[in-house]
């Protein structure tokens, strides 16, 4: 019974955090910046628009996959309700920060779709904020929480540029 309750809390918390964090960062704020007004790409539309949608779709797919992994590990991506174990499965076998990279891909896809240099600037600012958060809070916290397991993972899986082959612990 306790395991089922823990799993239900993990799924609810994960969905709520998905809506509050990436939903705001990759959805609401880009909408406020761009109004989601399509840019007229003229003759280049047949190249630019599919590339933009591919970036958005890949970002959304990786983001949802990463969030599901957290719920399956009976926790959330939110620092206040972490997983019971270090998540090193799925996309996390290729890169340590897939959620952040997915959010940046979604923002840049929208920048291209809407022809917005303001969204490009926002993506750069968001990336700088995320890197500062990872270096200043997340990595030290994961090191103190998971110790050698996280340090081994960190040594073998890059933070920002995915590996070509999955890491096996």
Could you list the pLDDT tens digit for every one of the 169 residues in the chain? Answer: 556 556 788 888 888 888 999 999 999 999 999 999 999 999 999 999 999 999 999 999 999 999 999 999 888 888 888 888 899 999 999 999 999 999 999 999 999 999 999 999 999 999 999 999 999 999 999 999 999 999 999 999 999 999 999 999 8
| Structural contact between residues 79 and 145, judged by C-beta atoms closer than 8 angstroms | no
For residue 125, what is the DSSP state? H
* pLDDT of the residue at 4: 57
Query: Collapsing DSSP states into helix, strand and coil, what is residue 46?
Result: helix
The answer to whether 90 and 66 have CB atoms below 8 angstroms apart is yes
Contact yes or no for 116/39 (Cβ under 8 A): yes
SS3 content of the chain, % helix, strand, coil (to 5): 75, 0, 25
Sorted by sequence, the CB contacts under 8 Å of residue 64 that are 6+ apart come out as 18
Tokens read off for 115 = 């022809």
Note whether 99 and 26 are within 8 A (CB): no
Predicted local distance difference test score (pLDDT) of residue 96: 97
Question: What pLDDT does residue 167 have?
Answer: 96
What integer pLDDT is reported at residue 5 of this predicted model?
A: 56
Q: Which of 98, 100, 73, 76 is nearest to 87 (CA)?
A: 73
Q: ∠100-108-56 over CA atoms, to 5°?
A: 80
Q: Nearest-CA neighbor of 169 among 157, 160, 161?
A: 157
- Rounded to the nearest 10 degrees, the angle between the axes of helix 139-146 and helix 148-156 is 130
Predicted confidence at residue 78, as pLDDT, reads: 85
Judge contact between 67 and 87, C-beta under 8 A. Answer: no
């Amino acid at each position: 019974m306790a395991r089922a309750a823990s799993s239900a809390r993990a799924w609810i918390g994960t969905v709520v955090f998905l809506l509050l964090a990436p939903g705001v960062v990759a959805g609401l704020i880009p909408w406020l910046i761009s109004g989601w007004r399509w840019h007229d790409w003229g003759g280049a539309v047949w190249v630019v628009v599919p590339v933009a949608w591919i970036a958005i779709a890949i970002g959304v797919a990786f983001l949802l996959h990463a969030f599901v992994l957290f719920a399956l590990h009976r926790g959330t991506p939110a620092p206040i309700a972490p997983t019971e174990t270090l998540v090193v499965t799925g996309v996390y076998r290729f890169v340590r920060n897939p959620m952040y990279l997915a959010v940046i891909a979604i923002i840049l896809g929208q920048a291209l779709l809407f022809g917005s240099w303001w969204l490009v600037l926002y993506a750069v600012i968001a990336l700088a904020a995320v890197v500062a958060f990872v270096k200043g809070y997340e990595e030290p916290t994961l090191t103190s929480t998971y110790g050698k397991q996280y340090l081994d993972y960190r040594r073998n899986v890059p933070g920002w540029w995915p590996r070509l082959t999955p890491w096996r612990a």
